[in-house]
Structure 1
Amino acid sequence: MRRGRSFWDDSGMVRSLEPLVVRHTLRVPAPKGPAGDGGVAARRFDAALMSVGFKLSADLLEHLSGLAAGTVIDTAAHTLRTVRGMVGDHVQHNAYFIDFPDNVPDTFEFWMGLVAKTFADDVHRTRAETRLSSGVLNLLALPGYGEYQHTYTEMLAHHDELIAAAGDRVTVLHLGGDLDAEATALYLALAGSGTPLGEDGLRDLAVLAEHRADGPQPDTIPVRENRAVVNRVRLDLGADLLLDTVTDVLRLACALSGGDVTLQEPTRFANLPRRVRRALLAGLDAVVAADPAKLADVNAHREPWKRLGERLHPHEYPRWPHAADVFAVARGEKTARTFDSRVEELLAEGDVAGAVTLLENAPGRLYRALDRLLRTASTRDERDLVLTAAERVADRVSGRVVLSVREHFQNRAAETGVTRVFTNRLGRAWTTPDHRLTVPYAAVERLNALLDAETARRLPGVLPGPVLVDPAVLDVALPLSGKAAGTGLGVLPRGSAAEVEGELLRFFVHWRQTGARTDYDLSALLLDEDYGALGWLDYTALTSAEGEHSGDITDAPDGASEFINLRLGAVRGAFVVPQVNIFAGEGFEEVAESFFGYMLRDAEQKGRPFEPRTVRTKSELRGPGRVALPLVFMRGDGDDWYVKWLHLYLRGLPWGNQVSGHRLTVGRLVRAVVRRRHLTVRYLTGLLGDRVTLWDGRSLPGGPVTFVGLERPGGLPDGSRAITPENLRDLVPA
């Protein structure tokens, strides 16, 4: 792209940005076009949106009504396409059993029917008898199993229209500013985010950066992955690179090669043009020249540095000797002692005071080491020294680290032997007994008071003025990492809880393979109060008192869907754990698409297996394991049910994963996550005291407020700011 090129005259470019704005903000950029009488077209647009669970706000409807009908129709076409994708209605959701959830056969009855059908056909009988000669008949290979036996149109003919209900989801789309302003605001929000973005967020940032990287910039880009994405575009524009560590250069090289800027997965570096090689080497040289101690960071990624050196040819550029030092350290020809090794040496010698003195030069590392330092300290004086140092540097620690440490210590068990849960940045999770030494209660109390005070000090910049809070958002977990939440509609960070309102719960999975035959299995594990397995629904158990499975699909060249329908009033036990098992074929990161979600319906509502108006959430499945655990449904008091987000992946088996084989592991993992106390919106708003008013769902104040809720209400006073799940990251102080 040439510097200074405007993309606003290119309708293709415009159209590529509008969906990003709608998905991230639930705002429709104000269309530009001639004035006219677009009222009829706008009302038809609104009606079409309502069929998929969306609606135009009053302001947006009024704005569209004043435009020419053609402009309204054009806006409706691409907006409908976007929101249908958000809710999962962009594909055809067929079901193996045509009448699902009615007339689903008993499992034994179903298999015996397939066997009888097989032996009634001469060709199929001969093949089956040949297989039986070995003593085994593979039921999964029976003719007709795992393949749709009817078309999508035929399935629709078997279902009545959905009966509208007051509980159907309605997501309001609001009027935005012009596309330039909306795209710029979204770019600044994503680039300047204080929490890491997920895979989709980074991809969207890259699209926005192509058009905005030579315009207004955030004051800081604190997250390194975001910086790499922006630097890639700045390099193309000839702008100065944003570099302050050698690792920034490594991430940029990964971005230029289409690799993983998080450095979690190996990148195969591309052949880079001479211009790019010079820019990277010059950047490296400047970073190391300014602070030679930063050479120590090379040790964390020695192998990628070696491979990158083969592409950059630093020996050809003697004018940048400090850049050459980076690759000398990677090859072991030059020693650069790491900061962490110096800390480890001091702690090994029992010199807590020396370690603290050193760590004060890196406040974030000091905070991440507080648990170990407090455990290692052998006297009260040493613990006081640690806590005093934490107080001195508190204002130099990022808000995300402050909150992460606060959450860590509120879960610090007083006793040993309890279960710890670990989750890496990719969502892979595991548990282990906690055998760490305890941290004295007085030290934890003093530290928590410090962290609360520091967070409260920063909050006025995050939540200015009077704060109006919807009680429904209080138990939503703070998004301390974008990796702790999937992408989609109604998706909340890991640990968030929300009430489930409805009598019929139906969850679904859809996937479409890239090449190899791929079989995903949707399952539901039922757990008792002690997290022990009571039973399950899957392709081996099609029906139970709780509900029905829609049938197994084992090949998805054109996409496939599976459903489980549950009557919440009939559920045994305390927990329902939906899971998606990869039985065979491509992983979640290899298929063309895969997503999970759930719907809620009243007992009398009919409709198709998939009805977009009843979808409460739709979450992309993109993780490293072979078993996905998106969320868990939990019984509350009486007949109340709640959902808690997990966003977890188990490694699983290379093939043949089934709910029965992972029930013990899943039970332990669910127990650890459910019992963990996450920092929530309730915690933050509690620090604000009388500045917070809980919203009654009806009346709104006369003046501007900061509103925090699951959805932006209509009629907020001018000048108000709304924080909803779409921009919940803004709650994390800088």
Structure 2
Amino acid sequence: MAHTLEALVVRHAHRVPLPAGPTGQGDVAARQFDAALMSVGFKLSGDLLERLSGLAEERVVEIAARTLPTVRAMVGDHVRHNSYFIDFPLNVPNTFDFWTRCIVEALADDTSRERTLAQLATGVVDLLTLPSYGNYRHTYTELLAAHDELIAAASDRTTVLHSGADPQHEITALYLALAGSTTPLGEESLRDLAALAGHCVDGPQPEAIPIRENRAVVNRARLDVGADLLVDTVTDVLRLACALAGGDVTLVVPTRFRGLSRPVRRALLAGLDAVVAAAPAKLADVGAHREAFKRLGERLHPHEYPQWPHAADVFAVARGEFRAPTLDSRVEQLLGAHDVVGATRLLTAAPGKLFRALDRLLRAAGTQAERDVVVAAAAQVAEQVSGRVLLSVREHFHNRTDDTAPGRVFVNRLGRAWAAEDTRAPVQPAERKRLITALDAETQRRLPAAGHLLVDPDILDVALPLSGKATAAGLGVLPRGSVSPVDGELLRFFAYWKQTQECTDYDLSALMLDDEYETVCWLSYTALTEIGGTHSGDITDAPDGASEFIDLRLDAVRGTYIVPQVHIYSGESFEQVEESFFGFMLRDAEQQGRPFEPRTVRMKSDLRGPGRVALPLTFVRGSDGRWHARWLHLYLQGGPSTNRVEGHRVTTAMLMRAMLERQHLTVGHLVDLMADRATATTLWDGERIPDGPVTYLGLSRPDGLHPGSRIFTPENLRDLIPG
């Protein structure tokens, strides 16, 4: 178990925990470890190499044996990436010629000739019935033999692993960071927190756990050891019940509750009773999850425990036997009566709700006096609002200008996205400006004193991680809305999936759009070749895993936008398959190598969303001709089957227009606020490191920073969001 948790430290923090142990001559093993890491695009920092060299050789070998599989999985090199066309990206045939060849081969096959002739007579041939279509025709070993070794290039990715403390210290530090996060975690991080919480339940705990989902996971571990539960709302208890049932603690997906033991039932009922006894008004929270509370009540049997009458009130409200008016319903009554001032004053009792309602209140206000009341109320309670809500509302009003594009994009917490026309009335510029000024002032007040601020310019356009739901798990992944430069001549996408039971066909595609978001062309199994690009071929079954690739020469691409997509043509969803992920590689023109080369992988992200079409990111050509990536992490609903790039062109174009014309709040915004209080601000040139402690912000941690420095990289950027 401890070794599994150490792997989480490597994955989340890019640090290698170093256990205490005998000293020795581990320099040879350490250099071999470093060489093995470099083959997959990782390397040891100078400090880590030095510390490993001072350990006993057998201890270094143990650490390497645990670490290498972890980093290989991080980059997607833990599986075999075969390609349908063995010479890909060379010798990929024209689509029509390839399909014709498959038909000719089917006619030459005694087992398929009659069926193929019958289809030809109708004028329509099902490619999936042709024996040579959709399945690998060579082994992975034969693929390797057909490709030369990758030529190393200075532009190859290098991810540095740094020296960590002893394993228990590193595991505890990661637990405290995840449990105490001020922003919601993604699905993978929430699962990791559950593993860490069980191990760390008897150790140090965070001062506060502001995110309710995190609190449910921690409470699950506390319940197992009989520790006091951290609950102050009835919904906290409901989330804990979901965690006990292995369900969704975010309460988005309904949970099927299982039978509970008497000790667990007593703990949950006692928690509910204590919350309601202390604050009866919290019964109003039941209405938001009425059905879930009714189903939970069937498992808890509150009538058997008369010593907790307030807990029984919770389920009486859920069944409609007892009325508990909610704040939302009272606000709706006031707004229905056009009493904006009354609604605003009522909402000051719930500052978070007030901030989420600001746009609506300002649009409903009919007079300047009413608008002044709304803005003044927001400024008054701003210090009581969480940092992520402050920044989310700041981003919202930043995009509510008079020249806002007509398209409006909606993205739920699962990544499901859709676009619609924006029919809202505008927000008056004066109120918008006053709100933004107040929000910036409150955010700046909460940001830490930076001292000497050292900033890698490449991180300035990274969107603030206001929610882990806006970032997929993986390597080199940035939050939705982030912009990062693309430096390379050859761009290669890859998608991998491995089905669980059902025959599953995923299709990697790339749609090219012009500057008006009109379709220029696409690459997919229906269009294997295009100017500057090739597709590796269609794989239609993945019992042992399957990979598809798209190779693009960026200087030859037609269009302004490249939108890679993964479509589910048939079979299991992204959440049902054993594994599925997407990524991209960048290479120089002279680099050849295998279709998948881990050293050239710039990004690899898991595909675990709810839709049938995944849009991980898009690539945009700037006015200067240079390309950059814009991160999406979106899913379209798609159809139940036979999803193809051709069928989603219009929907994708509408979504791209709405997403790309929206401006996200970036790290650069916080840097500007921090710089006003910093003793010095330096844009790092990638070479000289200051001698003293700094607050460093960058895409990766450089070697040589002073031990007293505070370091923020994408792995822990959420720690920069004020509480």
TM-score by length of 2: 0.99
8 Å contact kept, 1:529–1:575: yes
8 Å contact kept, 2:450–2:674: no
1:477 aligned to which of 445, 463, 477:
463
Instruction: State the partner residue of 2:509.
Output: 523
Instruction: State the partner residue of 1:497.
Output: 483
Q: Give, as a single letter, the amino acid of the residue that structure 1 aligns with 2:698.
A: G
SS in 2 for 1:431: strand
Give RMSD over aligned pairs.
1.0
More off after superposition, 483-492 vs 692-701:
692-701
Instruction: State the partner residue of 1:369.
Output: 357
Cα displacement string for residues 673-714 of structure 1 (whole angstroms, at most 9, x for unaligned residues): 111000001111111235232111111111101100000000
Residue 225 in structure 1 maps to residue 222 in structure 2? no
Cα displacement string for residues 348-399 of structure 1 (whole angstroms, at most 9, x for unaligned residues): 1111111111111111111111111111111111111111111111111100
Residue 97 in structure 1 maps to residue 75 in structure 2? no
Instruction: State how far apart, in whole Å, the 1-side matches of 2:313 and 2:109 are.
Output: 74
Instruction: State how far apart, in whole Å, the 2-side matches of 1:76 and 1:135 are.
Output: 59
8 Å contact kept, 2:405–2:658: no
SS in 2 for 1:687: helix
Q: Where does 1:567-582 land on structure 2 (aligned, <5 Å)? A: 567-582=553-568
1:302 aligned to which of 278, 285, 290:
290
1:716 aligned to which of 700, 705, 709:
705
Instruction: State the partner residue of 1:623.
Output: 609
Instruction: State the partner residue of 1:146.
Output: 134
Deviation at 1:133, TM superposition (A): 5.2
8 Å contact kept, 1:399–1:455: yes
Instruction: State how far apart, in whole Å, the 1-side matches of 2:403 and 2:31 are.
Output: 62
1:425 aligned to which of 413, 422, 429:
413
Instruction: State how far apart, in whole Å, the 1-side matches of 2:569 and 2:20 are.
Output: 50
Q: Give, as a single letter, the amino acid of the residue that structure 1 aligns with 2:654.
A: R
8 Å contact kept, 1:415–1:438: no
Instruction: State how far apart, in whole Å, the 2-side matches of 1:639 and 1:22 are.
Output: 37
Instruction: State the partner residue of 2:684.
Output: 695
Identity of aligned residues (%): 68
2:302 aligned to which of 314, 335, 343:
314
SS in 1 for 2:447: helix
Instruction: State how far apart, in whole Å, the 2-side matches of 1:383 and 1:123 are.
Output: 77
8 Å contact kept, 2:103–2:116: no
Deviation at 1:342, TM superposition (A): 0.4
Instruction: State the partner residue of 2:670.
Output: 684
SS in 1 for 2:70: helix
Residue 336 in structure 1 maps to residue 342 in structure 2? no
Q: Where does 1:357-396 land on structure 2 (aligned, <5 Å)? A: 357-396=345-384
Deviation at 1:132, TM superposition (A): 4.2
8 Å contact kept, 1:88–1:612: yes
Instruction: State the partner residue of 1:413.
Output: 401
Q: Where does 1:138-177 land on structure 2 (aligned, <5 Å)? A: 138-177=126-165
SS in 2 for 1:101: coil
Instruction: State how far apart, in whole Å, the 2-side matches of 1:487 and 1:584 are.
Output: 24
Deviation at 1:214, TM superposition (A): 2.0
Deviation at 1:557, TM superposition (A): 0.5
Instruction: State how far apart, in whole Å, the 2-side matches of 1:280 and 1:457 are.
Output: 39
More off after superposition, 411-420 vs 631-640:
411-420
Instruction: State how far apart, in whole Å, the 2-side matches of 1:190 and 1:689 are.
Output: 27
8 Å contact kept, 1:406–1:448: yes
Instruction: State how far apart, in whole Å, the 2-side matches of 1:487 and 1:284 are.
Output: 34
Instruction: State the partner residue of 2:520.
Output: 534
Residue 558 in structure 1 maps to residue 547 in structure 2? no
Residue 63 in structure 1 maps to residue 51 in structure 2? yes
Q: Give, as a single letter, the amino acid of the residue that structure 1 aligns with 2:582.
A: F
Deviation at 1:237, TM superposition (A): 1.0
Instruction: State how far apart, in whole Å, the 2-side matches of 1:415 and 1:105 are.
Output: 47
Q: Give, as a single letter, the amino acid of the residue that structure 1 aligns with 2:686.
A: G
Q: Give, as a single letter, the amino acid of the residue that structure 2 aligns with 1:694.
A: L
8 Å contact kept, 1:38–1:66: yes
2:42 aligned to which of 29, 54, 65:
54
Instruction: State how far apart, in whole Å, the 2-side matches of 1:417 and 1:123 are.
Output: 58
Instruction: State the partner residue of 1:4.
Output: none
Instruction: State the partner residue of 1:659.
Output: 645
Deviation at 1:130, TM superposition (A): 3.7
Q: Give, as a single letter, the amino acid of the residue that structure 2 aligns with 1:604.
A: E
Instruction: State how far apart, in whole Å, the 1-side matches of 2:695 and 2:479 are.
Output: 21
Instruction: State the partner residue of 2:695.
Output: 706
What is the total number of aligned residue pairs between the two structures? 720
Deviation at 1:135, TM superposition (A): 5.1
Structure 1: tracts of 5 or more residues without a match: 1-12
Instruction: State how far apart, in whole Å, the 2-side matches of 1:408 and 1:645 are.
Output: 18
Instruction: State how far apart, in whole Å, the 2-side matches of 1:637 and 1:84 are.
Output: 37
8 Å contact kept, 2:405–2:661: no
8 Å contact kept, 1:519–1:582: yes
Instruction: State how far apart, in whole Å, the 1-side matches of 2:532 and 2:122 are.
Output: 38
8 Å contact kept, 1:417–1:435: no
8 Å contact kept, 2:490–2:589: yes
Deviation at 1:464, TM superposition (A): 3.1
8 Å contact kept, 1:416–1:437: no
Instruction: State how far apart, in whole Å, the 2-side matches of 1:683 and 1:266 are.
Output: 38
SS in 2 for 1:122: coil
Deviation at 1:416, TM superposition (A): 7.7
Instruction: State how far apart, in whole Å, the 1-side matches of 2:482 and 2:143 are.
Output: 36
Instruction: State how far apart, in whole Å, the 1-side matches of 2:499 and 2:15 are.
Output: 32
Q: Give, as a single letter, the amino acid of the residue that structure 1 aligns with 2:202.
A: D
Instruction: State how far apart, in whole Å, the 2-side matches of 1:604 and 1:238 are.
Output: 62
Cα displacement string for residues 129-187 of structure 1 (whole angstroms, at most 9, x for unaligned residues): 24445553212321111100000000100000000000000000000111111111110
8 Å contact kept, 1:193–1:223: yes
Instruction: State the partner residue of 2:587.
Output: 601
Residue 19 in structure 1 maps to residue 19 in structure 2? no
8 Å contact kept, 2:525–2:535: yes
8 Å contact kept, 1:416–1:436: no
Instruction: State how far apart, in whole Å, the 1-side matches of 2:685 and 2:172 are.
Output: 34
Cα displacement string for residues 577-617 of structure 1 (whole angstroms, at most 9, x for unaligned residues): 00000000000000000000000000000100000000000
Instruction: State the partner residue of 2:186.
Output: 198
Instruction: State how far apart, in whole Å, the 1-side matches of 2:248 and 2:320 are.
Output: 25
Residue 547 and residue 133 in structure 1: after superposition, are their counterparts in 2 closer, same or farther (change >3 A)?
Answer: closer
8 Å contact kept, 1:231–1:242: yes
1:636 aligned to which of 622, 644, 649:
622
Deviation at 1:415, TM superposition (A): 5.5
Instruction: State how far apart, in whole Å, the 1-side matches of 2:56 and 2:69 are.
Output: 21
SS in 2 for 1:725: coil
Cα displacement string for residues 264-312 of structure 1 (whole angstroms, at most 9, x for unaligned residues): 1111101110000000000000000111111111101111111111100
Instruction: State how far apart, in whole Å, the 1-side matches of 2:224 and 2:347 are.
Output: 38
Cα displacement string for residues 618-671 of structure 1 (whole angstroms, at most 9, x for unaligned residues): 000010000000000000133310001000000000000000000110011011
1:454 aligned to which of 436, 442, 451:
442
Instruction: State how far apart, in whole Å, the 2-side matches of 1:416 and 1:718 are.
Output: 46
1:674 aligned to which of 657, 660, 684:
660
